[in-house]
Amino acid sequence: MHQMANAQSRYRAGGRQSGFTLLETLVVVVVLGLLIAGLGHGVRAGLALWNAQQRRVSETAELDAGARILRSLLTGIAVAPAGGIGGAPATNGFRGDAEHLSFIGDLPTGLGPTRHADIQIALHDRNLILTWTPHLHVIPLGPPPSPTETELVADVTQLDIAYWGASTPDQPAAWQSQWAGPAPPALVRIRLIFPKGDQRRWPDLIAAPVL
């Protein structure tokens, strides 16, 4: 009887030990599943954040590059002398309204020297486009050179250009929506408006061509 009681006691102990091992295995499997699910969710969230950050960096780099190019062009406008041949007023070709701007300026070549060019800044198909052709001092015998177009900023809803100065000598200086004359304005302001919901921000770019 004593031996039978010991056997039953060992059987019950073994059964309890086997039950605990199975329960622990289930707990480990459940915890492992939760960890894998959490890891997968974390990886997807991390990839989404990384992609969003890369897009943001790319957009910011585009705006910074566009702003630097515009500032360099506006401050490199060729200021005309006081008079032309025979006392006629000289011109630097500066013409502008709220949506277009054209002038003669120095175009950076990326190799150190600059290139004299006829430059135009305008909005085409919702993109801010820089168009230029070499400025020729003589009338070419052949066909004129084809213009070169460079996209500065993409997906722009509206371009607003303003000019600081006086339209006539007897008027005070103020922001003008148009400018045409032998001399550029004291200041040029370029404002870009992006589509609704676009996270990009463009602080007003103000440059001083005369300086």
- Would you state the pLDDT for residue 30? 73
Report residue 23 CA to chain centroid gap: 58
**24 vs 21: CA distance, rounded Å:** 5
Q: Is the pLDDT of residue 191 over 80?
A: yes
- Would you state the pLDDT for residue 8? 53
Write the pLDDT tens digit of every residue in 96-151.
Answer: 999 999 998 888 765 455 678 899 999 999 999 999 998 876 666 667 778 899 99
- Would you state the pLDDT for residue 206? 95
**pTM of the complete model beyond 0.85:** no
**Per-residue b or e along 152-164, where b marks 16 or more CB atoms closer than 10 Å to that residue's CB:** bbeebeebebbbb
What residue segments make up the domains of the chain, in order of their start? 1-211
Write the pLDDT tens digit of every residue in 144-185.
Answer: 778 899 999 999 999 999 999 987 778 888 999 999 877 888
Output the CA–CA distances (angstroms, integers) from residue 155 to 150, 176, 178, 187, in the order listed.
14, 26, 24, 26
